[in-house]
Structure formats: structure tokens, C-alpha cells
């Protein structure tokens, strides 16, 4: 009688090959759902270790090493809450923003540092190209539907950040000033931070003397050193950045008790996914290679790991910018119903706010 083959071997002694499906265990599924989407992680790895055959030297993904670290669960003894996180960084010496961009010594460090500079340069080039009216078209704020989309985001930011006269507000990634002008109408004392000199100039021209427009960097805090604000807001900005580093800048410049509010693209939306993963779609939609998008739970987790308290994190917006004027009212009514259904998870954007 033939004896059973040893575990892991065939009867003829050769190793037993396992099918790919056997590796897709519950632990892997839980890891992805709880921490970060798989596709942005791949983009981060691709940026961290570029292949010379298919990428220009120095090109990199947007989210860098800190996002790869973010896929791991936080240590069990990590303090909870914004003030505890700030105290921990102070005790350790230095800012987490600097730590998020620091890299190990050796050749790899130079490559990744150069990659960050490449990202900044790409943002400046795109800003110069879109500094005119083309920006509102490229970013979906043109036409009747685009106006309604912009108005909705403005209401969200003004409400969640409690913007009113006397409130010092920092807008990250102001671009050409599409939302800067709208936010300034609240009467708040507004400072707009933008990395591109061309779009910052356009923003300043539109906003006028009542708004302080600074050419700086939301990942490093350049341009706003030593300043604190009552509120920090932004529309479609964090997905351009190293998320961990930019959240550290937010934490360092938001006063105790201050509020934050952001609107970001939702990776679960089919169009957003295509813009980040299909080359010709990305080029047509003016999406840079390092830009990413977020999943709702992963974005909330990133804010909470950074020591911020999240009060709102929800998906919204099914109104496409190209919607004809006559259809906008009807589609807004349908949108309200769909957003409250399970299909709401596929909406185009994520609204997140807290303190």
C-alpha cells in the first residue's frame, strides 16, 4: 500500500505548488480594508523603487515611505488625541513633518529625496500650464454643474471649520483661488498656501488684498513657519501630497481646539480610479503621475493615527461637471437619494472634518 505523501510534497517527491487563491486569506483582506487601499500602496512602492526601464530618473509616487509605513497598524502604546500626539513629538524632539520626510542614510535616501523634488517641480509645471481659466475646466468647477459642486464644498468647509469674522483660517493648496474667493466671503482672516508661483499669482489677483497668499509647501510647512490658525481647510489637495507629512504640518499649525475640513477624491469612484490607473485617462484629465486618491476608512484612519479627532468622514457628490444646466436640479434630487443608499460609497469625493 502506498504511503501518503509528506505534507507540502507530491507523491513523486516534488514540491506541491499552491494556487494563488490559497494566499488570499482573511488576514490580507482585513489588512487592506482597515488600513489603506491596495492601488495607492502599489503607486507608493513604484515611486520608492523606480524601474529605470519604464520611468524617468527620479520619478516617484506621491505618498512616499510614510504611506508605506502607514499600511502597518500603529503601535498599541501610541497616544490617542491631538494633544497627546503633539506632546509625544515634542518629547522625542522635532516635528513629525520633518520625520515624515526624513529618509535612511545611503543611496536610496538620495533617490527618494530627489523624487520629492520631482513631485514639487511637476506641481509647479502644471500650475503654470493651468494658471488661466483652464484650471476651472480641468478641476471640474466650470459650468452650471461645476458651480453647484464648488458651492457645496464651500458650504461644507465654512460650516465644519466654523469660518466667520475673527477666525484665522489656512487654506492648503489654494490653486488659482477658486475656493479662496468663496471662503473669504465668510469674513474670516484667510491665508492661502500654494506651491506653484503661477497659480499663487492668479489666486492673489482674484482674491484681492483681503487675503494673504503665500507661495509655500504644505508638506514641509515652508512659508508658514511659527504660525498657528483657528482652522485649516482644503479642496482636492491632500491627494497631491505625502499624507503623513502634510497631516503633521496641519497638526503643528492648528491651534488647540481648532478645526479642519477637507474634500478629497474617492478612489472607490470608477472615474477617479481610472484617472489614477489608466494612462490616457490621466493625461486627458490633467492628473499627474504622483496624484492618488483615498478610501474613506483609510483616510479616516490616517487622520486618527496622526492624532486628529475626526467628527465627519463621508462620501458625497454624483453630479458630474459636464451635466447640462436643464438636468442639474433633477440630478441633484437623485443624488440626494443615492448618497444615502449603499451606492453612496461610489460617490466622487470624501468629506472629512474634525478637530
Q: Give phi and psi for 353, each to the nearest 5.
A: -155, 160
- Residue-range domain boundaries for the chain: 113-354
Query: What pLDDT was estimated at residue 100?
Result: 38
Query: What pLDDT was estimated at residue 129?
Result: 80
Count of CB atoms situated within 10 Å of the CB of 8: 8
pLDDT in tens, 182-227: 999 999 999 999 999 999 999 999 999 999 999 999 999 999 999 9
More reliable by pLDDT, 334 or 282: 334
β-bridge mates for residue 174, sequence order: none
Task: Tell me: pLDDT of 133 over 90.
Answer: no
Query: What pLDDT was estimated at residue 3?
Result: 55
Query: What pLDDT was estimated at residue 44?
Result: 39
Q: Which three cell numbers stand for residue 204?
A: 492673489
Query: What pLDDT was estimated at residue 57?
Result: 33
Spell out the long-range contacts of 116-120 with Cβ–Cβ below 8 A and sequence spacing 24 or more.
Answer: 116/60, 116/64, 116/219, 116/242, 117/58, 118/58, 118/59, 118/60, 119/60, 119/62, 119/288, 119/290, 120/195, 120/217
Least Cα distance to 237 among 260, 258, 256 occurs for 260
Beginning with the edge strand found earlier in the chain, give each strand of the sheet holding 254-265 in spatial order: 212-215, 189-194, 168-172, 229-235, 254-265, 349-354, 310-316
When pLDDT is averaged across residues 273-289 and rounded to a whole number, the result is 90
Task: Tell me: pLDDT of 296 over 50.
Answer: yes
Query: Which residue reads 527620479 in cell numbers?
Result: 58
Do the beta carbons of residue 265 and residue 183 sit within 8 Å?
Answer: no
pLDDT in tens, 136-186: 455 567 789 999 999 999 999 999 999 999 999 999 999 999 999 999 999
Query: What pLDDT was estimated at residue 82?
Result: 53
Query: What pLDDT was estimated at residue 138?
Result: 53
Count of CB atoms situated within 10 Å of the CB of 46: 16
Query: What pLDDT was estimated at residue 160?
Result: 98
Query: What pLDDT was estimated at residue 325?
Result: 93
Which band of pLDDT confidence, cut at 50, 70 and 90, is reported for residue 114?
Answer: confident
Query: What pLDDT was estimated at residue 99?
Result: 38
pLDDT in tens, 30-60: 333 333 343 333 333 334 333 333 333 333 3
Task: Tell me: pLDDT of 253 over 60.
Answer: yes
pLDDT in tens, 79-101: 445 555 555 444 444 443 333 34
Query: What pLDDT was estimated at residue 41?
Result: 38
| C-alpha atoms less than 13 angstroms from C-alpha of 242 in its C-beta half-sphere | 31
- Domain 113-354 matching CATH 3.40.50.150: the answer reads yes
β-bridge mates for residue 101, sequence order: none
SS3 call for 65: helix
Amino acid at each position: 500500500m502506498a504511503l501518503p505523501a509528506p505534507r507540502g510534497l507530491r507523491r513523486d517527491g516534488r514540491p506541491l505548488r499552491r494556487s494563488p487563491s490559497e494566499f488570499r486569506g482573511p488576514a490580507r483582506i482585513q489588512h487592506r480594508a482597515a488600513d489603506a487601499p491596495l492601488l495607492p500602496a502599489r503607486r507608493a512602492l513604484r515611486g520608492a523603487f523606480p524601474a529605470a526601464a519604464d520611468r524617468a530618473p527620479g520619478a516617484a509616487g506621491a505618498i512616499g515611505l510614510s504611506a508605506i509605513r502607514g499600511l502597518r497598524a500603529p503601535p498599541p502604546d501610541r497616544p490617542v488625541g491631538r494633544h497627546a500626539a503633539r506632546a509625544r513629538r515634542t518629547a522625542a524632539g522635532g516635528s513629525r513633518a520633518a520625520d515624515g520626510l526624513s529618509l535612511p542614510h545611503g543611496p536610496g535616501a538620495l533617490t527618494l529625496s530627489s523624487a520629492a523634488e520631482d513631485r514639487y517641480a511637476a506641481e509647479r509645471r502644471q500650475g503654470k500650464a493651468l494658471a488661466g481659466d483652464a484650471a476651472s475646466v480641468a478641476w471640474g468647477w466650470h459650468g452650471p454643474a461645476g458651480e453647484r459642486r464648488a458651492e457645496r464644498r464651500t458650504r461644507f468647509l465654512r460650516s465644519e471649520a466654523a469660518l466667520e469674522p475673527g477666525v484665522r483660517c489656512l487654506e492648503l493648496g489654494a490653486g488659482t483661488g477658486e475656493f479662496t474667493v468663496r471662503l473669504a466671503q465668510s469674513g474670516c482672516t484667510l491665508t492661502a498656501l500654494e506651491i506653484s508661483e503661477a497659480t499663487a499669482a492668479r489666486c492673489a489677483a482674484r482674491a484681492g488684498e483681503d487675503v494673504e497668499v503665500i507661495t509655500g509647501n504644505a508638506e514641509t510647512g515652508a512659508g508658514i513657519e511659527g504660525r498657528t490658525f483657528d482652522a485649516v481647510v482644503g479642496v482636492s489637495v491632500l491627494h497631491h501630497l505625502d499624507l503623513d507629512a502634510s497631516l503633521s504640518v496641519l497638526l503643528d499649525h492648528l491651534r488647540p481646539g481648532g478645526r479642519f475640513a477637507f474634500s478629497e477624491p474617492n478612489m472607490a469612484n470608477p472615474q477617479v480610479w481610472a484617472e489614477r490607473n489608466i494612462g490616457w485617462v490621466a493625461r486627458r484629465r490633467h492628473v499627474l503621475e504622483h496624484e492618488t486618491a483615498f478610501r474613506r476608512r483609510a483616510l479616516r484612519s490616517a487622520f486618527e493615527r496622526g492624532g486628529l479627532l475626526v467628527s465627519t468622514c463621508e462620501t458625497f457628490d454624483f453630479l458630474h461637471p459636464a451635466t447640462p444646466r436643464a438636468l442639474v436640479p433633477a440630478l441633484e434630487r437623485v443624488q440626494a437619494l443615492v448618497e444615502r443608499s449603499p451606492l453612496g460609497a461610489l460617490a466622487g469625493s470624501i468629506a472629512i472634518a474634525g478637530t
